[in-house]
Chains A and B, each alone.
Chain A
Amino acid sequence: MPGPGAVGVFARRHRYHPLEAVPWLVAVAGYFAFPSYLPLGAQILATILFALSADLVLGYAGIVTLGQAAFFGAGAYTAGLLAAHGWGEPISGLLSGAAAAALIGLLSGLVILRTTGLTLLMLTLVVASMLYEAVNKASWLTGGDDGLQGMQVWPIFGWFRFDLFGRTAYCYCLIMLCLCWFATRRLVHSPFGRSLVGIRENILRMHAIGAPVARRRLVVYTISAALAGASGALIAQTTGFVGLTFLGLDRSGTVLIMLIIGGVGRLYGAFIGVPLYMIAQDRFSTIDPVYWYFWIGLLMVLLVVFARGGVLGLAERLQSRLGPRR
């Protein structure tokens, strides 16, 4: 029986808290409450997975990246190409997308993670741009600028057809997100995950106690790439389209923004930031697509200057101010 004080806090921190059920209850309620918004809902769920992959590499391993879209796009194009060339089975397509992204993450991580700071940031951007150029120029295969055409995604298990109202897409994304979230949660609370936090907080000390820092960073980078690839594959399969924007700097930048709005390194920031961002975008950007970026940029500046930690950070501060002193 874990006692009070520090020991108790450490012993309890990996247990499930009742609040953790809230996102899933909201997601299930959303299915019944907004039947006409299910396609948007499916996109939100898949994007949460993308933001979760960014949270793993950024919030836990402390690797600042501007190239997460490389893995997202790699997964999307892999799943898309399979579906466009006669293999539309969704689950295996999803796994192939994740595997392709993981492979790119592993290979690029071998180079990128040797560097630090601005150089690392630049190299993540270079890898994404390289992939962008390759896809753009190989238009005989990928459709180039026009995007990939003619995807045929088969029903899941040969039974659940992707319908026009997005019911299947929504449930498919929700189940996949739930599985990935569960695995990620296990990962960050495992000794491996704690050592990542150690590397983020004090890399020299982790070297000194003999942790295999380079290998751990490479492993988490690869896992994060696989999650991003799965997210890209989900979006490709549920929307039936893959384009060059899947690989662009905008995509890497906006996923960071969504994560920051929710809160980094908390595992739930993605569940708050992504819906807020995407619902707001759905409302406002149709009126004013260019100036959308102005307000998003301003919001980022304000968040960094005044509200580090995003919504969850604010909630924590509020709680510690109002709640009983421990």
Chain B
Amino acid sequence: MTADFLSAAVNIAFNGLAFAMVLYLISVGLSVTMGLMGFVNLAHGVFAMAGGYLVTSLMKEQGVPFPLALIAAALVVAAVSIPIERLLYRRFYGGDELDQVLLTIGLAFMSVAGATYIWGPLQQPLQLPAWLSGPVDLGFRSFPAYRSFLILSGAGLVTALWLAVERTRFGARVRASVDNLRMAQSVGIDTSRLFMATFALGSGLAGFGGALGADLLAVNPGYALQNLIYFLIVVAVGGLGSIRGPFFAALLLGVADTASKYLVPEFGAFFIYALTLAVLLWRPRGLFGRA
């Protein structure tokens, strides 16, 4: 009984952590866009979807190794996001929320049709290399290699991101602009370029997260709209503009989602939504949001 319980708890924690990593990598860019530029980007999931499609096609058609394909997907998504930001998004920063919602929902709709046109309506499976498809034995028990890799590389990237935000000049500029945009501008920070760089970084991370999690969040044309609610929950529960808040929100969501699917599958995602409502009833600005 206790052994069963323990094994179930370890399973939930492990799979929940893997899911949380993917959710965080995808959503952190959305949180920054929201906090820094005041822009509601409902098409953010499109970047993650693009990452997923890029990695599956690179591996299947070009035979690129998985780690290399991941990095390539992130870089391509980041590069493509720059013209979108410059030409389309920039003029709506800090503007009317309805315009932003309509613009980005429109883009998400276009992505559904676009992905169907290029890759067809079916789900694209991620063909894992041999070294990731088996289990890894850690002595006391074994874990699936793919999810272990996912957790480790996610943790490495998150550490790098947090160090970059805390320790580099770029990170200091971002934090200053989130705290007080006008003051940041008046001390000579070029916020327009900063916006572009953070947007590209956030999109690249989303692309990486989507590519890394291509086996967890199925890569199909409806991706951006199907998973939108998860990304929004992570950002809103974490607190807008926060870098760390979404991590804990993603952890909470990842573990709660895995646990509810494991323990009470007959209720589906119902508990997740109820939990979200409860958390935001308690703290309307999210767990780490500022007043």
Contacts and interface: CB of A to CB of B under 8 A. Distances in A.
Interface of A: 58, 64, 66, 111, 114-115, 117-119, 121-123, 125-127, 129-130, 133-134, 136-137, 249-250, 253, 256-257, 260, 264, 290-294, 296-301, 303-305, 308
B232 A293 contact: no
B65 interface: no
B67 interface: no
B103 A294 contact: no
Contacts of B229: 122, 125-126, 129
Given A290-B121, A299-B106, A301-B107, A123 B280 contact: yes
B232 A298 contact: no
A308 B40 CA distance: 18
B9 interface: no
A134 B270 contact: yes
The A contact surface, by secondary structure, is: helix
A64 B108 contact: no
B110 A118 contact: no
Contacts of B235: 118, 122
B236 A122 contact: yes
A115 B237 CA distance: 12
Interface stretch (B112-120, B133-141, B164-172): B112-120
A303 B98 CA distance: 12
Contacts of A121: 40, 97, 101, 232
12 contacts: A115-B284, A118-B232, A119-B240, A121-B101, A126-B277, A130-B270, A249-B228, A293-B112, A298-B106, A300-B102, A303-B102, A305-B88
A292 B109 CA distance: 9
The B contact surface, by secondary structure, is: helix
A143 to B, nearest CB: 16
Given A133-B273, A256-B105, A300-B105, A119 B99 contact: no
A308 B99 contact: yes
Given A118-B240, A293-B112, A125 B106 contact: no
Given A301-B88, A301-B103, 14 more contacts: A64-B98, A66-B101, A118-B236, A119-B236, A119-B240, A119-B286, A121-B40, A122-B229, A122-B233, A123-B236, A125-B232, A297-B108, A301-B106, A304-B106
Interface string B268-289: 1110011011001100111000
B266 interface: yes
B280 A304 contact: no
B34 interface: yes
A304 B40 CA distance: 14
A241 B245 CA distance: 44
Contact of A249 (B99, B225, B267): B225
Contacts of B40: 117-118, 121
Contacts of B225: 249-250
Nearest to A288: B113
Contacts of B116: 290-291
Contacts of A291: 113, 116-117
Contacts of A293: 109-110, 112-113
A118 B285 CA distance: 10
Contacts of B117: 291, 294
Contact of A125 (B34, B88, B228): B228
A129 B273 contact: yes
Contacts of B269: 129, 133
Given A249-B225, A291-B117, A308-B99, A119 B270 contact: no
Given A299-B106, A300-B105, A137 B228 contact: no
Contacts of B107: 297, 301
Contacts of A66: 101
A126 B276 contact: yes
B121 A126 contact: no
Contacts of A303: 102
Contacts of A118: 34, 40, 232, 235-236, 240
A66 B240 CA distance: 19
B229 to A, nearest CB: 5
